[in-house]
Every structure is written in structure tokens, then in C-alpha cells.
Amino acid sequence: MSRRARRLLFALAALIAVSGATAYAASLTAISTAKLTGWHSAAGCTPQTVTLSASDDATIDQGSPNTNFGSSTDLKVKAPLLGALGINLGGERYTLVRFTLPSLQLCSVTLAKLRLFATSATSGRNLEADRVTQAWAEGTVTWTNAPLVTSTGAVTIASGSGTGYREWTVTSLVTAQYPPGNSYGFLVSDSSGLSLLAPEQIYNSDEAAANKPQLVVTYG
């Protein structure tokens, strides 16, 4: 074979190799794109709003530190007696409420509202919702063994007391409870500070006949 023929043969082989590599790369890109598109379509976020019912709720009472109130139809929040004078003579009450959160399914929490229905209220009170960070159960929780709470991200309804449903926007507190194993719920207290006669709020518990605690969560 002549030198010129050999050169032509080598050039043709190189051209075939380059063309094959380009086609192979193009096929990989097409396959990868198809896989990603299909995965996103099958397992992507479906925006929705869900209303959750409480899985546990109870009052804890400083005046009855070893008594469990998990079976009561009421949830109570009460400021300490003579709190305005920096004195706590007992009787302070907190409400604990917990919800079982669903899986995010690649979504994010875009809005969350805790809703408690007040059947009796003292007007002009500031009501605070904090995130609970430790496990508890409505059938055993008391003031003495109350779970730990963090005030980080606490949400307060300024002068939010009154009858009917009261709402706390708790988006960041719910987000912090994911993954669902961290969903220990909320503690609601009276953060007004100034009180002489220990004002009280009474809400329906999950044991009430109607208007039960709700957590309304929007995913998107």
C-alpha cells in the first residue's frame, strides 16, 4: 500500500472514531435528560393544604404538679398569680398540643397555622406558642415531667385572647419539626407578664365534641 493510501486510511478511521464518540455523548445526554425529567414528574412536589388533628394534647398545671389532665375536654392557659409584682404564687398553666406530620414528598412548608378554639377567655392577653423539643404523651405528661421547650422562633399573638378560633402562624416552628420524628408539637403560654388575678384562657381539646385543635399546613 502506498504512503498516500495509508494516510487516507488513518484519516478515515479518525473521522469515524470522532463521529462515534460524538454520537455516544449525545445519546448519554438524551438518556440523562429523559431520566431526570421522568424522575421529577413522578416524584415531584404536589402543592396542597392539609388540616391535621391533634394526636396528643393536655394541660400542665403548676398548682397540681403531679396530676395528668390528658383526658380533659379543656386545654388551659393561665398566667401566674401576682405575676405583675414578679411573684409567682402558683397556678400557672400551659397547653401542650402535638400533631403527626406527613412526609414532605420533596415539598417545603410554605405556611402553617396552629388553631385553638377558645370557649372562655380573658381579653387583652399575649399568647405565645413555642416549639417542644422532647417526647411526651397526653396520658402521662404533668407539670413535673413536662418536656423541654425552645423559645427560638416563638410566635406571639399580641392581645390575641378572645373566644372562637385563635391562630398562630407557626411556619418556621413546623419546618423545624421535620423530619417527622422531631414533631413534638407546641406549648402555648400567657407571655403578657402583667397580671394580678391570674387570667385564664380555656380551649377545646381533642376530646371535645367539636371545634378541636387544628394544624393547617400548606406545602409547595
Q: What is the pLDDT of residue 122?
A: 92
- Average pLDDT (69-74) is 98
Render 18-54 in DSSP notation, one character per residue: HHHHHHHHHHHHHHHHHHHHHHHHHHS---EEEEEEE
81-105 confidence digits (pLDDT tens): 755 455 556 679 999 999 999 988 8
pLDDT at residue 141 greater than cutoff 80: yes
Q: How far is CA 104 from the centre of its chain?
A: 11
Q: Which of 187, 206, 173, 181 is nearest to 53 (CA)?
A: 206
Task: Count the residues in the chain.
Answer: 220
Q: What is the pLDDT of residue 87?
A: 54
The answer to which of 62-66, 111-115, 139-143 has the lowest mean pLDDT is 62-66
Q: What is the pLDDT of residue 15?
A: 41
- Average pLDDT (173-189) is 93
Backbone angles phi, psi at 157, to 5 degrees: -95, 105
Task: Look up the pTM and report it.
Answer: 0.77
pLDDT at residue 78 greater than cutoff 80: yes
What percent of the chain lies above the pLDDT cut of 90? Answer: 63
Distance CA 173, CA 8 (A): 72
Return the higher-pLDDT residue of 189 and 21.
189
188-215 confidence digits (pLDDT tens): 999 886 666 678 999 999 999 999 999 9
116-139 confidence digits (pLDDT tens): 999 999 999 999 999 999 999 999
Any idea which residue has 406558642 for its cell? 129
Continuous segment of H or E residues that includes residue 4: helix 3-43
First to last CA, the chain: 70
Q: What is the pLDDT of residue 26?
A: 40
- Average pLDDT (160-187) is 94
Distance CA 138, CA 149 (A): 16
Q: What 3-state class would DSSP assign to 83?
A: helix
Any idea which residue has 478515515 for its cell? 12
